[in-house]
Chain A
């Protein structure tokens, strides 16, 4: 379990990390990056699996089922869309132009 001060450290460091990742990004990658971060919060799927896994009553099972359903949609859909988008940045196309504008 993560508690108290340790949790605050994690929150703080993760916050800085996110800020740092995005601060120097060319406009061309804004949409793919939004899509990519959309995929990353698909990790909610593992939480949803636990929520359904510990469900005891039918109500909890129904809500947990919805949670896993939605979480899986987030993770899989986010991946597919991001992957398709980034497929367009094939290395062959920018070989002779170096970096983007």
Chain B
């Protein structure tokens, strides 16, 4: 039986790797998730046969508890995952990821409590957790506990921030100092678990790690959220891998570490796309301190345009480049935008989509939404490919994007966005910005583009504005 279970785990691990590999190409991506899903079902079913579970004194109670927990947790996740709007995907990923981290931390908690209990009843009277588990298992178990717990509470905060339930970017004065101090104390308690058999130490450790995850994530600026979610994703993978070692489970080790390393690389790619280091993301909250102070530098007035005129301008343009941002996602305007694109194309206008690497709340977020609306891949351009083309563009239509077209990222060294590569919309003959109001973007930084001579503002909800543009373009 044991061999059969191990074989099932091995096949599952192979399916995960092959599935992920297929997900890295648009053509095979859908098959990839099916393979990985099959691996998960196989591994889960095999685990019900595990001798550790079947040999337990409380086998029937525990199996019933397992089934109830799977039904509740899985059922809730199924329901919420099916129901959530496409635009809210990023925060759902954050939440499911947090659950994974929490599960890894809870596994560690069971193991550590068991070990400390055994140690306390050991005949020597001085036995420690490490004596019971062995040094390697104890160290990796505790490491997994700390990483998983931080990923758990941090992801929940990331979810709350993205979902608009939490807007604070500061909890305490000198937050970064306190975080550093808290991190040191938490690591201290983690070490203390190793050398003692005290249950109180374990409890204090978990509380500290939970708070640490919250404190680390709260100051992170909105624009940096994708990087943080990706980082927590990698961390959860790592924690799962470590707990896999504790349990001697090869499938968990392989899957966890693969995700850990893939996620780390993805995090770096994302941070690089924003020209920020991962450390920078943690220690400088964009739009919190610096941005609040820099109210100057953006003088002039915004010039408003009516949808009618904007539609005419675009219908007679030779080239229109559409720059979507999170605002388009919120307004669910992607279908209308695609309709507008088709009308313009019929009139002989060359229409292109320009996607900033971090447009929306995640890399690729906009691509997914545009794909949903039916926009073909070959109309969608990455930043490097389109930037030189803005000079030949009659109209750049910015819909719900802000920071990714902010020219102060290039010109103003005091701007918190300085150094981030941007889409050079400002180089086109005309810029039309569809925007709900006059406020700043997610980072809270003023955007001089909105005050530029060639920029016209079209105020209103993205979907409504797009409909009006369609109307105006159709009438010609």
Contact = CB atoms under 8 A, between A and B. Distances in A.
A70 B100 contact: yes
Q: Is the interface of B mostly helix, strand, loop or mixed?
A: helix
A99 B229 CA distance: 28
Interface string A61-85: 1011111111111111111111111
B376 A84 contact: no
Interface in A18-46: 18-19, 21-46
B426 interface: no
B66 A2 contact: no
Contact of A74 (B66, B100, B257, B364): B100
Interface in A38-58: 38-57
B106 A67 contact: yes
Contacts of B204: none
B48 interface: yes
B367 A27 contact: yes
Contacts of A80: 77-78, 81-82
Given A37-B233, A40-B36, A85-B368, A46 B47 contact: yes
B344 to A, nearest CB: 19
A47 B46 CA distance: 12
Given A49-B48, A53-B52, A21 B69 contact: no
Given A39-B36, A74-B100, A50 B47 contact: yes
Given A30-B362, A81-B89, A88-B372, A24 B52 contact: no
B419 interface: no
A90 B103 CA distance: 34
A17 to B, nearest CB: 5
A52 B107 CA distance: 8
B148 to A, nearest CB: 9
Interface in B232-272: 233, 236-237, 240-241, 243-245, 247-263, 265-266, 269-270
Nearest to B244: A47
Contact of B363 (A27, A90, A91): A27
Contacts of A98: 378
A21 B66 contact: no
Most buried by A among B36, B95, B362: B36
A73 B73 contact: yes
A67 B252 CA distance: 14
Given A2-B248, A47-B249, A51-B107, A29 B78 contact: no
Contact of B245 (A7, A35, A41): A7
A79 B52 CA distance: 28
B50 A41 contact: no
A53 B262 contact: no
B92 to A, nearest CB: 5
B74 interface: yes
B262 A76 contact: no
Contact of A40 (B30, B81, B255, B365): B255
A49 B78 CA distance: 19
A90 B255 CA distance: 27
Nearest to B251: A43
Most buried by A among B56, B240, B260: B240
Most buried by A among B65, B89, B110, B259: B110
Contact of B50 (A2, A10, A44, A53): A53
A93 B90 CA distance: 24
Interface of A: 1-4, 7, 10-11, 14-19, 21-57, 59-61, 63-91, 93-94, 96-101
Interface of B: 9, 12, 16-17, 19-21, 23-27, 29-30, 32-33, 36-37, 40, 43-44, 46-48, 50, 52-53, 56-59, 61-63, 65-66, 68-70, 72-78, 80-82, 84, 86, 89-90, 92-93, 95-97, 99-100, 102-104, 106-107, 109-111, 113-114, 117, 136, 229-230, 233, 236-237, 240-241, 243-245, 247-263, 265-266, 269-270, 355, 357, 362-365, 367-368, 371-372, 374, 376-378, 380-382, 385
The 7 closest A-B pairs by CB, nearest first: A53-B53, A80-B81, A77-B77, A18-B261, A67-B106, A72-B73, A74-B100
15 contacts: A15-B261, A31-B365, A31-B367, A32-B23, A40-B36, A42-B100, A50-B107, A53-B52, A75-B77, A81-B96, A86-B30, A90-B30, A91-B27, A93-B374, A93-B376
Given A41-B259, A77-B99, A89-B371, 15 more contacts: A18-B262, A22-B262, A36-B32, A38-B259, A42-B40, A43-B256, A47-B252, A53-B52, A55-B56, A63-B110, A67-B103, A69-B69, A71-B100, A73-B77, A97-B378
